[in-house]
Amino acid sequence: MRTSLEGKTALVTGATSGIGAATAERLVGLGARVIGTGRRGERLEAMRALLGEDFRHARLDMTDAKAIRNFAGDLPHAPDILINNAGLALGLSGADEASLEDWDRMIDTNIRGLVHLTRALLPGMKALERADIVNISSVAGSYPYPGANVYGASKAFVTQFSLNLRSDLAGSKVRVSSVEPGLTETEFSEVRFAGDKEKAARVYEGTDNLTADDISLVIADLLTLPPHINLNRVEIMPVSQSFGPFRIAREG
């Protein structure tokens, strides 16, 4: 197992907070040069101040296909490591009441943005001696729950896309992994509930939840495995989280 990523370049999307920020910091600590993207320029500047010259950044809206193409085309070379982390959940309403605008934004960010960036970078990554793609999915892609509708479906797409990439890339030196976190305390719930911090805090109340740093540790482990090992799917939950019963509607 490698303990260093010296000489490697990693591209981390959604690097302004949560899993993306924690992963960028950990990879810099392992010797990688990291390019972090996100929409919030001030957060990216703060990351640069924290991590130094090994962290470069670019503002990038993952819902803007043209901006993604231009960004990928302007890179001096393909990254050795691609962490497709940018994503979000919006709302928890049932499908009959949910906002179509929220659905569109989740699809554009969680699916289209990831697909467009991966497609733009893949030819260059495939030409490298060794490369890694880590797609951040979710247990919501495997286990349905009320209100997850499009969010869960978008993460199921990410997982299946990862597995299909593995098939397409058979015989190449590109590894692909789907990382599927469970209950992880980040800004995720605050975004889902439109900035309602109290409501977001109740999601994690009384649980020994995962943290962004926990997930970044798993990602680093994936990247430092011997090159002949590919972990296709990694599902991670805190010990306090498990699987729920089927939802049954009873009459009377």
Separation between Cα atoms, residue 7 and residue 198, nearest integer Å: 43
Q: How far apart are CA 162 and CA 47, in angstroms?
A: 28
* Catalytic residue of the set 143, 145, 151, 204: 151
131, 173 Cβ separation under 8 angstroms? yes
Provide the strand spans (E) within 100-166.
131-136
Residue 163, SS3 per DSSP = helix
Active site residue 151: yes
DSSP type of residue 111: I
Instruction: For residues 16 and 237, give the distance between their C-alpha atoms in angstroms, rounded to a whole number.
Output: 23
Q: For residues 133 and 125, is the Cβ–Cβ distance under 8 A?
A: yes
Q: Per residue in 106-126, is it b (16+ CB within 10 Å) or e — as a string? A: bbbbbbbbbbbbbebbbeebe
Q: Rounded distance, CA 174 to CA 130, Å? A: 6
Active site residues: 151
